Amino acid sequence: MSKKISDLFEEAVQEVREQILQAAGQTELPEDDDSNGNKEKGKKSKGGDIVPIEDQLPNKLYIIPLSGRPIFPGIFTPIMLHSEEDKKVLEKAYDENGFIGMCLLKNDVESPVASDLYAVGTVARIVKKINLPDGGINAFVSTVKRFKIRKVLNAEKEICVAVDYLEETNDTSFEVKALNRALLSEMKEISENNPLFNEEMRTNMINIDHPGKIADFVASILDIDKNEQQKVLEQLDVQKRLEQVMVYIKKEQEILKVQKKVQSDLNEKVEKSQREYFLREELKKIQSELGIASDGKSSDYQKFKEKIQSFKFEGEIKEAVYSELEKFNLMDPQYPDYMVSRNYLELVCALPWLDDTDKVEYNLENAKKILDNDHYGLDDVKKRILEFLSVRKLRKDNKGSIIILVGPPGVGKTSVGKSIAASMNKPFYRFSVGGEHDQSSIKGHRRTYVGAMPGKIIEGLKITKSKSPVFMIDEVDKMNASAQGDPSSALLEVLDPEQNVTFRDTYLDLPFDVSNVLFILTANSLDTIPSPLLDRAEIIQLSGYIDQEKMEIAKKYLVPKNCEKNGLKKNQVKFTNSALSLIATEYAREAGVRNFEKCIDKINRKLIYETMTGSGNDGNISDKFTVDVPEVRKYLGKPVFDESQIKVASVPGTAIGLAWTSMGGDTLLIESISFASEKAGGLQLTGQMGDVMKESAQIAMNWVKQYAVNNKIKEPEWFEKNIIHLHIPEGATPKDGPSAGITMATTLISLLTGKTIKKNLAMTGELSLTGQVLPIGGLREKTVAAKRNGIKTIIIPYANERDLEEIPEHVKKGITFKPVKNVLEVIELAF
């Protein structure tokens, strides 16, 4: 039976001891075979005298490349060999003379050659070699001396070199002895504080009598970089070698100090945590014995349990909530998930699970009064809201609905939503989704994330503490899809009456009925709202205000509100009708009233400043002020809009069109000129038109060309020799849409005939290639813009005549509408 590995190791150690005895003059053991057939070799001289092992070293060595660390002289160590090349090299070296060379690789490579090795290495005697079951060889070697490669005999695979053996220098000076003692002293301190240094290492270190070998031994056991160890191996001056090793020892000591401090701090924290745990357990026991209230966690558990029982949950909700509650009860407060579970249960207990819709009552007369007090005008909007409330009251239907309020900025969409909530006597919650690009803002985050929260819908129910509040979701036309999801798609489940009975927030992960919530959405435009979202909602349009409406709003709401904001009494500042009209026409001509309010605020501030600084006032103003046209001009400065900016088609080749934008209606002055061209004629378009508008311009050009030729206004050759340039001013503003078709055609007819269109005339309508006038959208907003710009006559498509009923009478007052079916009617009315 083969020997055990441990027995072979002991035999190898015994042989090294015998070699040491040989160096001391003892007899060398004779050649013998072991059980593996490996010969143990030693040499005698012919006269029987002992030959020192240094004299036996061969000048030619086979090399084993080392990838880990260099091996220093005076070390007995095993080396594991698995590659075929290394095994062959070992066998050759063993059979030839029993010595092997070991050199460190400069860089780890798969198939090393001689140029990959450092030039300085260590020669070792092969003491034992053991064949391993996996095919590898475990060789025990005893390193002897440094060498330097003099010549490469075989550079690849079985690397063979000629070597020169290196002798140490400067190993007997006083400095060396002093360094040797200091090194042993420092290593003693390190070995006492580092459990990795065992007793055998300490003994070996003390018994080594040569300073160079002590430096080698210490360098081999310190945790330093292999390249630094190679530098120590290459250093032949013992004093310098000791100095190098001392530097590494100092670094090791610094690391040990930091390690000791970290370990001490960690132990202190662990001890403190254990101490607190035992104290808490003792406190629990004492409280239990005395029969008094338990810790905060138990009181939280009881509070959650009582609240959850009052909800009388059933099915999935009951199972999930009670499971979470029991998990919370078993959880240690120091556990990281403790607060996660606690926050979840707090949310569950804070939500209005019980139906409270029967408690809400509202009176239609009172609702009408609230709407009238809060808003001037908007009669059709108020009417639709009261119709909606009437149906709910008759049916006693508490199911929620979805309303979308669409209109330009500043017309009162948000305040209308608040008024609806007040008229229904319900709590109001508003949040904006403008710029949102993450669906988690609607449906919440998963509880596994740090800092996870429920979505806005569940958060709103928690805040209002009602199952049927009024929710206002602002700016739904400004949501964006991204890698985090599409918020508009997440809203579909919330707003669908068939799905929101079991709305499931990602954080809550329980079905919650939000079908009783009244959702009011606001937007400036319907173009960017997904069609499925529009299908679920009732759309209410809010058009802009005309000047008379702005004046009334200022008198009833803006002036009193702004006086209070600036510290004045309600009726302390009075604006004349002329002043308010001037502000509306020359300083705040937008669809809403925000700029109007800013102008009033600016006037009030300047009034207060002049009064406070002019009379040395101590902080109280009792005077009453009247603001007329001179004061408006004085405090607001030059007009933002003047009469010259009102668009007028005063020359041939111009016409006024009406446009709709998300900011409300607007008027467009379309201009055209013609000039001769040496090349072919054609149509040039400028003014940042979109693709649809460019197509409309081409259709208008082709129809006008046919009309001009048929009516002998121009010859066909004229169009081939002239270029017509069509431009819409304010070139920095993008424009698009088909509704300027008849305006462009009128502009071109005006250019070709040299005639000017009638004064105070505007038009809107899409033109077909056969001259038909097709319907357009946004007639209400366009009419408000025309009224603001002093237009008296508006040409509209015949199909839009039905839309006139939706325009309030005070807006239509003073404007004549001319419905047309064909562009020929437009030409007849325009000139």
| Mean per-residue pLDDT, 606-632 | 78
Separation between Cα atoms, residue 203 and residue 193, nearest integer Å:
16
pLDDT on residue 467: 87
476 vs 43, which has greater pLDDT? 476
Q: Is the pLDDT of residue 480 over 80?
A: no
pLDDT on residue 437: 76
| Mean per-residue pLDDT, 476-503 | 80
Q: Is the pLDDT of residue 46 over 70?
A: no
Burial degree of 408 (CB within 10 A; 0-12, 13-18, 19+): buried
Confidence of residue 43 (pLDDT cuts 50, 70, 90): very low
Of residues 650, 636, 524, the one with CA closest to residue 585: 636
682 residue type, one letter = G
pLDDT on residue 397: 67
Of residues 572, 676, 681, 682, the one with CA closest to residue 622: 572
pLDDT on residue 115: 87
- Tens digits of per-residue pLDDT, 744-795? 999 999 999 999 998 889 999 999 999 999 998 888 878 888 887 888 999 9
pLDDT on residue 663: 60
Q: Is the pLDDT of residue 27 over 50?
A: no
Quick check: 687 and 728 in contact, CB under 8 A? yes
Confidence of residue 198 (pLDDT cuts 50, 70, 90): low
Return the SS3 of 828: helix
Quick check: 599 and 636 in contact, CB under 8 A? yes
15 residue type, one letter = E
Instruction: Reply yes or no on whether 782 is catalytic.
Output: yes
pLDDT on residue 616: 56
Confidence of residue 26 (pLDDT cuts 50, 70, 90): very low
Confidence of residue 15 (pLDDT cuts 50, 70, 90): low
Separation between Cα atoms, residue 728 and residue 685, nearest integer Å:
9
Of 382, 467, 705, 782, which is the active-site residue? 782
Separation between Cα atoms, residue 44 and residue 24, nearest integer Å:
14
Confidence of residue 645 (pLDDT cuts 50, 70, 90): low
Q: Which residues of 780-809 are buried (b: 16+ CB within 10 A; e: fewer)?
A: bbbbbbbbbbbbebbbbbbebeebeeebbe
pLDDT on residue 334: 76
The span from the first CA to the last CA of the chain, in angstroms, equals: 124
Of the CA atoms within 13 Å of residue 551, those in its CB half-sphere come to 14
Q: Is the pLDDT of residue 68 over 80?
A: yes
How many CB atoms sit inside 10 A of residue 358's CB? 9
pLDDT on residue 177: 83
- Widest CA span in the chain: 141
pLDDT on residue 707: 92
- Least confident piece of the model among 131-135, 221-225, 620-624: 620-624
Instruction: Reply yes or no on whether 739 is catalytic.
Output: yes
Strand 120-131 versus strand 137-154 pairing type: antiparallel
- Tens digits of per-residue pLDDT, 97-108? 889 999 998 888
Question: Cα separations (Å) of 584 from 551, 591, 602?
Answer: 7, 10, 15
Confidence of residue 825 (pLDDT cuts 50, 70, 90): very high
Of 129, 739, 750, 787, which is the active-site residue? 739
527 vs 60, which has greater pLDDT? 60
pLDDT on residue 30: 36
- Cα dihedral sign for 518, 521, 522, 526? negative
14 vs 782, which has greater pLDDT? 782
Separation between Cα atoms, residue 221 and residue 212, nearest integer Å:
15
Separation between Cα atoms, residue 512 and residue 493, nearest integer Å:
12
Separation between Cα atoms, residue 679 and residue 147, nearest integer Å:
93
pLDDT on residue 795: 94
Confidence of residue 2 (pLDDT cuts 50, 70, 90): very low
* Spacing of C-alpha 667 from chain mean position: 42
Tokens in use for 782?
């366009």
Q: Rounded to the nearest 5°, which phi and psi values hold at 417? A: -60, -40
- Tens digits of per-residue pLDDT, 681-695? 888 999 888 888 889
Strand 402-406 versus strand 816-820 pairing type: unpaired
- Tens digits of per-residue pLDDT, 447-472? 888 888 898 889 999 999 888 888 99
The mean of the pLDDT values for the chain is: 82
Of residues 226, 145, 146, 217, the one with CA closest to residue 184: 217
Quick check: 419 and 374 in contact, CB under 8 A? yes
Q: Is the pLDDT of residue 36 over 60?
A: no
Question: Cα separations (Å) of 789 from 75, 454, 635, 643?
Answer: 103, 49, 25, 9
Q: Torsion-angle region of residue 772: left (phi > 0), alpha (psi -120 to 50) or beta? A: beta
Tokens in use for 498?
């068939």
Give one DSSP letter per residue of 446-485, joined into a string: -TTSTT----HHHHHHHHHT-SS-EEEEE-GGG---BTTB
Question: Cα separations (Å) of 717 from 37, 598, 676, 709, 753?
Answer: 115, 57, 12, 10, 16
Q: Is the pLDDT of residue 49 over 70?
A: no
Burial degree of 362 (CB within 10 A; 0-12, 13-18, 19+): middle
